[in-house]
Chains A and B, each alone.
Chain A
C-alpha cells in the first residue's frame, strides 16, 4: 500500500501574531510542520506498520509532498525523519499559491504517484481554511472522509472505516481506495488507528512520534525530488487574493470579583446576563 501525505509549513502557532504593512509579519518566523499534517504523517505510519514490533509492513511506502519555497524542504526532512520514505517538493513562492493551485498540482502528483490513500491534515492552522482535502477529492472524483478521529483499514486493504467528528457526534463512513482522508486531533490517540497488523491491545503514546537521532540521520539520505509547477503542467493561477488584514479588537479588561454573591449580582444587574 502506498500513502501520499501533502504537508504545509506554518509559522509556529505558539508565537504572537504581528501585522506589518498590511500583512502578517513573518520576518524571523519560526516555521514548523502544520500540526494536523504531522498527525497525517503519523496516521500513515500507523496504518503501514506493526506498532508493537516497530516494523514497517513489507512493500508499504509513504511519500510526503509540499509545495513551497526552498526553506520548506526542512519540513519535508522532519517528516522523513519520523519515517516517511521519500519526499517531493514543488518549488513555488507562497504568493503564487492558493487552494486551487495547490489542488491542481496535487492532482498531477497523484496521477504520477498513484497512491492508494492520500492523507492530509483537516486544516492548516495559519489560514484555517479547511479546503484542500475536499477540493482534491472533488477534482479526482474520489471519496473523502474528512475530520477523521479514527481509521480502520479493512483486511483486504480495499477500504477504510473512518470515525468522523461531526457536530452531532461521531459519524462512521466507509470509503474505498483510492480515497482521501483528512485528519482531526484525536487521530493520534493511542487506539485510533487499526490496521490488522498492530495488535489491538497495543497502545501508542498519545500524539505524533518524535524523530529519533537515527531517523534524523537516515532522513538526510532519503530521496527528495524538486519539481516546478510547470513540470506537472500546472497553469492554474490563484483566484484568491488577500487585500487586507487586521488584528481583532482587544477585549476590555475584566475584573476579579471577590465572591460568588458579588458575581451573581453583577451578572444580573451590570451585564444583565442572567
Chain B
C-alpha cells in the first residue's frame, strides 16, 4: 500500500498538460503516503506515449486492447480498480476533466473508496481541500476508506517537471472487457487551432451582451492576437451563439489563466466560479453596476463594439514597439 495510481490522459506525443497537473498532485500524495507514483495509460497509443510519460513518473503501466479504442467508463473503471489493487495503491487519482469526472467515481464504487472531487490542495495525508458552493467556500474533507479516489482541479496544480531518471514502463492485460451495454457512437467537435481552455495563458470570453455568434468574430481576432483560448458565459452558450464547450463557470470549464477578458459578461456567481482564480481580469461592460467589475482588476465601462476593436489596435501597437 501507499502507492499512488495516476490515470493520465495522453496524446501520441506524451502526457496531456492536464495529466501533468495530476502528476504533481500524485507526487505530493505519494510523499504523504510513503509510496511511489504509477502513471496509468489506457487506450490506443498508450505504449507509444509511455516513453514520454516515463520522464514524469517512477513507473508507467500501459493497457491497450481493441476493446478500449474508445473511452468508456464501463470498460476503463474495472481496469483502474484492478490495477489499483495489483499495485498497492492507497490513492487513485485523475484530473477533473470530463473523462476524469466520469471515470473516477465509478472506479471508487468498485474499490469501496471514498472520493474527493475537484480538489485544490492536499491538506494532510488523507485530507483534501476542495471548492464547494460554486467556489464560494473551501471545504477540507478527511476520507477514512483504505483506498481514496481523487480528482484534481487542473488550474490549482502546476504541471509536473520531468524527473532526473526515466521511470520503468510495463504493460498490463486489459482482462475481460464488458461495456455493460454501452457503446460509443460518435464525437461532434469543432476543430480549433487555439489552445485548450484549460491550458491557455490568456482567455477571451464573451457573454449575453455579444448578442449574436457572428459578433464573437471580433473577440476571436483579439484571442488570435494574444494566442488565447475562447470562452463564454452560460448565457451566450445557452443562446446558441457559441459551442457549449466554450462555457466557463461552475458547470462548465474552470480556468485560471494569467489574463482573462470578460467582454459583455455581467458576472453571475456561476460564471465567477469558473474564472475568479485568473491572475489578471479585465472586464468590458457598458453597465457600470455589473458585478463583474467587483472582481476585475481593470474595468472599461463602455460598449464592446467600440472598445474591442480599439483594444486590438492598441495591443498591435504595443507588440510592434517591442
**What is the interface of chain A, defined by CB distance below 8 A to chain B?**
13-14, 16-17, 19, 24, 98-100, 103, 122-123, 125-139, 141-147, 149, 159, 161, 163-176, 179, 184-186, 189, 206, 239-248, 251-257, 259-261, 263-264, 266-268, 271, 273-274
Contacts and interface: CB of A to CB of B under 8 A. Distances in A.
Interface in B267-322: 269, 276, 279-282, 288, 293-301, 307, 310-311, 314-315, 317-319
B187 A168 contact: yes
A161 B104 CA distance: 23
A13 B118 contact: no
B132 A169 contact: no
A24 B131 CA distance: 13
A175 B73 CA distance: 12
Nearest to A143: B182
A173 B311 contact: no
Interface residues of B, number: 90
A24 B182 CA distance: 39
A251 B295 contact: yes
A153 B139 CA distance: 39
Contacts of A98: 114
Contacts of B72: 173
Contacts of A245: 137-140
B110 A168 contact: no
Contacts of A179: 181-182
A252 B118 CA distance: 25
Contacts of A167: 97-99, 196, 198, 245, 253
B185 A254 contact: no
Nearest to A207: B238
A263 B180 contact: no
Given A136-B109, A138-B107, A246-B138, A175 B181 contact: yes
Nearest to B292: A254
A133 B106 CA distance: 8
B12 interface: no
6 contacts: A13-B133, A138-B109, A163-B188, A166-B98, A248-B135, A263-B300
Given A19-B137, A245-B140, A255-B297, A170 B307 contact: no
Contacts of B186: 171-172
Contacts of A133: 105
Contacts of B108: 131, 135, 138
Contacts of A244: 139-140
Interface stretch (B19-27, B82-90, B141-149, B211-219): B141-149
Contact of B280 (A125, A149, A176, A271): A271
Given A128-B117, A256-B288, 20 more contacts: A100-B114, A126-B133, A128-B118, A129-B118, A134-B109, A146-B101, A170-B189, A171-B186, A173-B182, A174-B182, A240-B142, A243-B140, A245-B138, A245-B140, A247-B136, A248-B137, A251-B295, A267-B259, A271-B259, A271-B297
